[in-house]
């Protein structure tokens, strides 16, 4: 199966999502959080760095649970900016 390339907005969304996860992880190690979520540390590393900008729902849900985040908080990070709208404006909407 050939995957269509991500748009710049989708890549930006993945980067914002990664930042949110890193901030929520705080001082906890990547290995600790990954183990708590039942994913590999490499998977978490890829998500946090934006190299895996479209993780599966179940991965997102497991990470949210492990980090004490609501799915609503994570969904807000996934909102793509509208035309002429920056990321900051989309997240505050």
Strand, coil or helix: what is 33? Answer: helix
Asked if the model's pLDDT at residue 90 lies above 50, the reply is no
pLDDT-based confidence at 46, cuts 50/70/90? very high
What is the crossing angle of helices 57-67 and 8-25, to 10°? 30
Q: Which domains does the chain have, with CATH numbers?
A: 8-83 (1.10.260.40)
pLDDT band for position 1 (cuts 50, 70, 90): low
Global pTM? 0.77
Residue-level pLDDT at 14: 87
Structure tokens at 60: 């997102």
């Amino acid at each position: 199966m050939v995957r269509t390339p991500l748009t710049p907005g989708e890549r930006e969304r993945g980067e914002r999502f990664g930042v949110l996860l890193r901030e929520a992880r705080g001082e906890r190690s990547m290995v600790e959080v990954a183990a708590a979520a039942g994913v590999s540390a490499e998977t978490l590393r890829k998500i946090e760095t934006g190299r895996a900008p479209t993780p599966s729902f179940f991965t997102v849900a497991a990470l949210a649970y492990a980090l004490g985040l609501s799915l609503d908080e994570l969904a807000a990070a996934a909102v793509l900016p509208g035309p002429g709208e920056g990321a900051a404006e989309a997240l505050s909407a």
